[in-house]
Amino acid sequence: MDENGQAITRRELLRMGIAASVAAVWLPSGLVWGMSGQPSPPTPGTILGPFYPVLKPLERDGDLTRVRGRRGRAKGQIIHVAGRVLTPHGEPVRGARVELWQANSLGRYDHPSDTNSAPLDPDFQGYGVQVTDRDGRFRFKTIKPGPYPFDKWIRTPHLHFDATGRTDRRVTQLFFAGEPLNDQDFVLQSVPRNRERLIAQLLPAPEGEERGSQLVQWDIVLPRG
């Protein structure tokens, strides 16, 4: 579904660059929880952060790698982020609003408070919104963000998410497995329980996607949905 809650047709999926091979990986890993009867703990929450967009781009679709009206593509490693919004028992949360925002490949946010000297990328959207379908699925195409200085720390690469379901909202961050800065990141290390739920593996994207692009499969679990 799009951000207005309208059903996304196959033609629109193709227009958005979502191939059937990637759609297939949307089959939720979280469904196993419901089948096994073993509930999963809610996704840990984190701080909103200082760089939530003040002025959101006019274009807010799920493809952050291109900006309408420009011919270029965002610089950096293309990643596909596919997942579902679920309840602890693996039930899909239909119609959940999922926002994603992030730094560009050089670690710069398009935000007036970001004092990082790295340049902005005019071909990078930096923010997107999706509304989950009947199976709770969402999907973004973006680039892997770079680390960046913040006060006395260096933040490890991460994506920001704000998921709003029927009754719950969860602000959280997604981190990448194997990043050297993960062990020093003050946000990640401040999560007291289930910290591993915020870390995902980067996998090769399915055949049919851009050569060299990668895939992240990651579900957001809300306390009640």
Q: Kindly list the catalytic residues.
A: 109, 148, 155, 158, 160
HEC readout, the chain: CCCCCCCCCHHHHHHCCCCHHHHHCCCCCCHHHHHHCCCCCCCCCCCCCCCCCCCCCCCCCCECCCCCCCCCCCCCCEEEEEEEEECCCCCECCCCEEEEECCCCCCCCCCCCCCCCCCCCCCCCCEEEEECCCCCEEEEEEECCCCEEECCEEECCEEEEEEECCCCEEEEEEEECCCCCHHHCHHHHCCCCCHHHHEECCEECCCCCCCCCEEEECCEECCCC
Rg (CA), the chain: 17
